[in-house]
Amino acid sequence: MSNCDICGGRPQAKHKLDCKCCRKVFHINCVDVDEDQLQFYIAGDAIWLCTGCNAIIGNKQTIVTDATAISDIQNSLKMILDQQNHFLLKMVRNDQDIKNLKAKAKDAAIEEDITGHDKRIKILETAMKTLEDTNNTLKTKMDNFQQSSRINCLEVTGVPKSANENNIKYH
């Protein structure tokens, strides 16, 4: 058990008060508290503070002012964060707009390339059709020429060239 902070004596359990702030022990007579007030504090309906702690907490009025200043700072920080978020949002949107413009430019270039390739494909298809027609014509002419050549190169054997020629061979 602790000694009374004022007189230094040892208070009995039922005649003592503990400061809820500094946890020092006091006689109820040393701090001018009667039995009824003691029961009120013991029941837990109120918090008892010694005169030293009471004086310190009484000077805590400045803390309330500090808390007001903190709320002002919090409001200022919130405003700064809102502005920063707004600025970042604008930057993101601008960046997205730039990316969209670049994508549109690339799409236009790709579309132009596709159109150019389509034109070249049509030209090549036309040229291929012309070459196929020419090839078929040339094949037909070659077949006709070969037939004509076979007819012209026909070698007749076994028919005498002159009247007394003997074409029969004996073995």
Instruction: Give the E-state strand segments of 9-54 in sequence order.
Output: 16-18, 25-27
User: What's the pLDDT at 104?
Assistant: 96
Q: What is the pLDDT of residue 29?
A: 84
Where the chain has pLDDT below 70, the residues are 1, 44-45, 58-68, 154, 156, 158-160, 165-171
Compute, in degrees rounded to 10, the torsion defined by CA atoms 126, 131, 134, 135.
Answer: -140
Q: How far, CA to CA in Å, does 9 sit from each of 18, 41, 110? A: 14, 21, 98
The model's pTM: 0.37
* Token duo for residue 3: 């000694």
CB 27 within 8 A of CB 50: no
